[in-house]
Homo-oligomer: A and B are copies of this chain.
């Protein structure tokens, strides 16, 4: 099988390295060879690894070549990459991509195009790097009705949260973000990662696979991590939680919920053990129960490994082709649960002036809405000022929002109420 590598950045280098290093192994295992015909990228790749491979700057040209069976799209972005994939599929080439944004935004049309031309469009590398979560949901859990899935699917955000939890109150969010940028874990413009957009792309793909729906990116509730304060990490620890940025998709009573937000996760839960740039996804099937897959969420080797696994499926003819899950005809948009009706526990941190009766007034507001409390504590910040910190039992979002609005209007509440959802 002859392939074109389009894009000579980190992942392109990773894929090329694996195919070179493990060529004999892959051929022995599959009985077939995977050969790189050409590397295509806008500028001449300088990396040593590409030196014996033909190069073209005319990326689109690979789609017309007889000596290219599969186009590997590793350029990123949603404009040129989209044109390349459309051209390749239309020319009868299968495509392997790591492009989560493109799949999440334009996947339905691209899968339809692949089906029309009877070729495959594979994307294992688009979600969670090395972790084979696409294959696990699509194949290993194919006999299961999935109830929900929850994942740490952005390594940058998880690195920042891990550092903030370890740093104590001395470091601000901005300082930790700067460290992540210095280490190469965060982009110069980190918006996509820290505001949850990248995670929403990935969640959109996982949700579509798990619940047999089209890609419904616009319906993901998205909240980033930039509003977290170091004091929230302190209270999380004291209350027995860690703060993780989770993507959660759930289908209940025929209604779909998709959300990306910071979450209080019990410190003993398995997702709380996933630190630094690691990723993990927990999927709950009706038969299998909960399955966790964890590993490196990014990097040349891990993401390259996922791309190569798709290539191996193609060379062996063992991939389901066409639609999202190899089953486009079965996809059906699900009604989305209104945000106000989504149920979760909540952590609230309320900054108050110490006045007689303030605790009583706070708890009365919650009690009036039958919001029951799991934990509550009060801690002095300064003379006459303290935090009231509480964790509620599960409650509809609309109810807690109303309560927060009313709390906010209390004269003794002197700063915006912080609220973070609790994961189970």
Query: Which residue of chain B has the shortest Cβ distance to A270 in the bound complex?
Result: B273
**Interchain residue pairs A-B with the least CB separation, the first 3:** A143-B308, A132-B140, A28-B330
**Bound-complex Cα distance A189 to B31 (A):** 44
Identify A288's interface contact among B19, B142, B296, B318, CB under 8 A.
B296
Tell yes or no: A285 within 8 A of B by CB. Answer: yes
**Bound-complex Cα distance A135 to B309 (A):** 11
Tell yes or no: A80 within 8 A of B by CB. Answer: no
| A17-B287, A28-B329 given; 7 more Cβ-contact pairs under 8 Å | A124-B140, A130-B289, A130-B291, A140-B306, A143-B312, A280-B292, A292-B295
Tell yes or no: A316 within 8 A of B by CB. Answer: yes
State how many angstroms separate the Cβ of A321 from the closest Cβ of chain B. 10
**Bound-complex Cα distance A28 to B17 (A):** 39
For A, the interface residue count at a CB cutoff of 8 angstroms equals: 62
**Bound-complex Cα distance A329 to B32 (A):** 13
State how many angstroms separate the Cβ of A155 from the closest Cβ of chain B. 12
Are B135 and A140 in touch, CB under 8 angstroms?
yes
Identify A291's interface contact among B25, B26, B288, B295, CB under 8 A.
B295
State how many angstroms separate the Cβ of A314 from the closest Cβ of chain B. 11
Tell yes or no: A293 within 8 A of B by CB. Answer: yes
Query: Which residue of chain B has the shortest Cβ distance to A295 in the bound complex?
Result: B291
Are B329 and A31 in touch, CB under 8 angstroms?
yes
| Pairs A–B under 8 Å by Cβ, sample size 24 | A18-B287, A22-B287, A25-B143, A25-B145, A26-B142, A29-B142, A29-B326, A30-B142, A30-B326, A31-B329, A132-B140, A139-B312, A139-B313, A141-B305, A142-B309, A285-B305, A288-B295, A288-B296, A288-B306, A289-B296, A290-B296, A292-B293, A294-B294, A318-B318
Identify A29's interface contact among B31, B212, B301, B306, CB under 8 A.
B212
Tell yes or no: A386 within 8 A of B by CB. Answer: no
Identify A320's interface contact among B131, B286, B318, CB under 8 A.
B318
Q: How many copies does the complex hold?
A: 2
Give chain B residues whose Cβ lies under 8 Å from the Cβ of A14. 287
Tell yes or no: A381 within 8 A of B by CB. Answer: no
Tell yes or no: A396 within 8 A of B by CB. Answer: no
Chain A, 327-367, contact with B by CB distance < 8 Å: what is the 0/1 string? 10110000000000000000000000000000000000000
Are A144 and B22 in touch, CB under 8 angstroms?
yes
**Bound-complex Cα distance A19 to B285 (A):** 14
Tell yes or no: A230 within 8 A of B by CB. Answer: no
Tell yes or no: A394 within 8 A of B by CB. Answer: no
Q: Which of A143, A273, A325, A329 has the most CB of B within 10 A?
A: A143
State how many angstroms separate the Cβ of A353 from the closest Cβ of chain B. 41
Are B296 and A293 in touch, CB under 8 angstroms?
no
List which A132-182 residues lie within 8 A (CB) of chain B: 132, 135-136, 139-145
Tell yes or no: A21 within 8 A of B by CB. Answer: yes
Give chain B residues whose Cβ lies under 8 Å from the Cβ of A288. 130, 295-296, 301-302, 305-306
Q: Which of A140, A280, A292 has the most CB of B within 10 A?
A: A140
